[in-house]
Amino acid sequence: MRVRAVALAAVLLAACGGDGGEGRIGDAAPGTLELTPETTTTMPEDTSMADLLIEDAPEGYVQADAAMGAGPLDLEGAAAAEVDHAAERALLETRGFQRGWSRAWLTPDDDVVYVAAYELGSDEAAARYLEDGTETLLARGAEPFDVPGVDGARGYVTLDESEAGTFTAYAVAFTRGPHWFLVLNGSAGSGASPDVARALAEVQARRVEGP
């Protein structure tokens, strides 16, 4: 099963990186995430990334399993976020990508909540990756929205037009130390909202920052 969700830079993902890439996750359309990233061997230390991510989504969403793309992301899996895998891999290597993890939740109507965390080479590398993603999303026509509850966060809404209709995604990306985080709420109907994305981002930030 494939679910599309707009990403924030290489981030968007990273929202996701992208020096000229045209999409995110697998072979999804430009500016979208396909929740079936390719992953390879999981090293023991990778499980620490899972502890950084929120574990719950709003009522009505059911958590996806590994077969649907949730779980560990190594360099190859993260690079698969862009159609141009080689360019994204080069960017991630430049930013010192170490490991990543993702979680996703779906409704019966395929509304989606998606969260991801990458560990990059340094605090500065993570900040630059956030900028990479921001520049990419703006160039693709994404519209920013404010996320006052999370220091340093960038929020973007993207409309993905296709024969199936319009998929709207609200994504928030931010960094804490060497870690880059993405929180996204997307829908092909009216199931997504910036308020949900903001609220989830606030919960994600508190989880990382602690009490």
Distance CA 40, CA 59 (A): 31
Pairing of strands 154-162, 165-176: antiparallel
Pick from 3-7, 51-55, 189-193 the range whose average pLDDT is largest. Answer: 51-55
Query: What pLDDT, in 10s, does the model give residues 8-22?
Result: 322 333 333 334 333
Per-residue pLDDT at 80: 80
65 vs 199, residue with greater confidence: 199
Task: Say if CB 187 and CB 197 are below 8 A apart.
Answer: no
What letter would DSSP give residue 68?
G
pTM for this entry? 0.78
Query: What pLDDT, in 10s, does the model give residues 52-78?
Result: 999 998 888 988 876 555 789 999 888
Query: b/e for 20-41, b at 16 or more Cβ within 10 A?
Result: ebebbbbebbebbbbbbbbbee
SS3 92: helix
Task: Say if CB 183 and CB 7 are below 8 A apart.
Answer: no
Pick from 76-85, 168-177, 202-211 the range whose average pLDDT is largest. Answer: 168-177
